[in-house]
C-alpha cells in the first residue's frame, strides 16, 4: 500500500535553533518527492521538489534530502524564525499508468511551533 509517514507529529523549538523533520514512504514506483509548508488557515505552498536522482535541494533556510534506496527524506530548517511555525507536509508522486498521469500521496504533516 502506498503510504507516507512523517515524524515527529509535532515539534516545539526556540527561535534561532535548527530542526529536522523526517519522512518515510512506501510509494512505488516513484516520480518525485515534495515538501510543502502550510500556515494556519492557508493552503499548502511548495518548498522543494526532488526526483529520485537528487540527494539534496535547498530553498533558503530549508534543505531537503532524499535517500531513494531507503525511501527516506528529511527537511532541515536552519536558524528558525517565528514565521517558520506551520505544518510541513511530505508528498510523494507516483505514476498512474492506466491514467497516464501522476498522483500525489500526502503525509499527515509535522506541526512545528517556533517560540521566542
Classify residue 57 by its DSSP letter.
Answer: E
* Closest separation in Å from C-beta 1 to other proteins: 13
- Cβ(21)–Cβ(111) under 8 Å? no
Residue 28 binds to other proteins (criterion: CB under 8 A): no
* Closest separation in Å from C-beta 114 to other proteins: 20
Residue 45 binds to other proteins (criterion: CB under 8 A): yes
Looking at beta carbons only, is 15 or 49 nearer to other proteins? 49
Read off the C-alpha cell for 81.
524564525
Classify residue 15 by its DSSP letter.
Answer: T
Distances (CA, A) of 73 to 25, 34, 42: 8, 9, 24
* Closest separation in Å from C-beta 18 to other proteins: 25
Residues 84-103 binding other proteins (CB under 8 A) are 89, 93, 95-96, 99-103
Alpha carbons 63 and 55: distance in angstroms, whole number = 10
Q: Walk across the sheet containing 72-77 and list its strands.
A: 4-7, 19-25, 72-77, 62-67, 56-59
Per-residue binder mask for other proteins (CB under 8 A), 48-87, x = binder: -x-x------------------------------------
- Residues of this chain that bind other proteins (CB under 8 A): 4, 9, 31-32, 41-46, 49, 51, 89, 93, 95-96, 99-109
Amino acid at each position: 500500500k502506498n503510504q507516507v509517514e512523517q515524524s515527529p507529529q509535532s515539534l516545539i523549538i526556540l527561535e534561532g535553533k535548527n530542526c529536522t523533520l523526517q519522512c518515510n514512504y512506501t510509494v512505488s514506483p516513484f516520480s518525485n518527492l515534495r515538501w510543502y509548508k502550510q500556515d494556519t488557515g492557508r493552503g499548502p505552498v511548495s518548498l522543494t521538489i526532488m526526483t529520485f536522482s537528487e540527494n539534496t535541494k535547498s530553498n533558503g533556510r530549508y534543505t531537503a534530502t532524499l535517500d531513494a534506496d531507503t525511501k527516506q527524506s528529511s527537511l532541515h530548517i536552519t536558524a528558525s524564525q517565528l514565521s517558520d511555525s506551520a505544518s510541513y507536509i511530505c508528498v510523494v508522486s507516483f505514476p498512474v499508468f492506466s491514467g497516464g498521469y501522476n498522483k500525489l500521496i500526502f503525509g499527515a504533516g509535522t506541526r512545528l511551533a517556533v517560540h521566542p
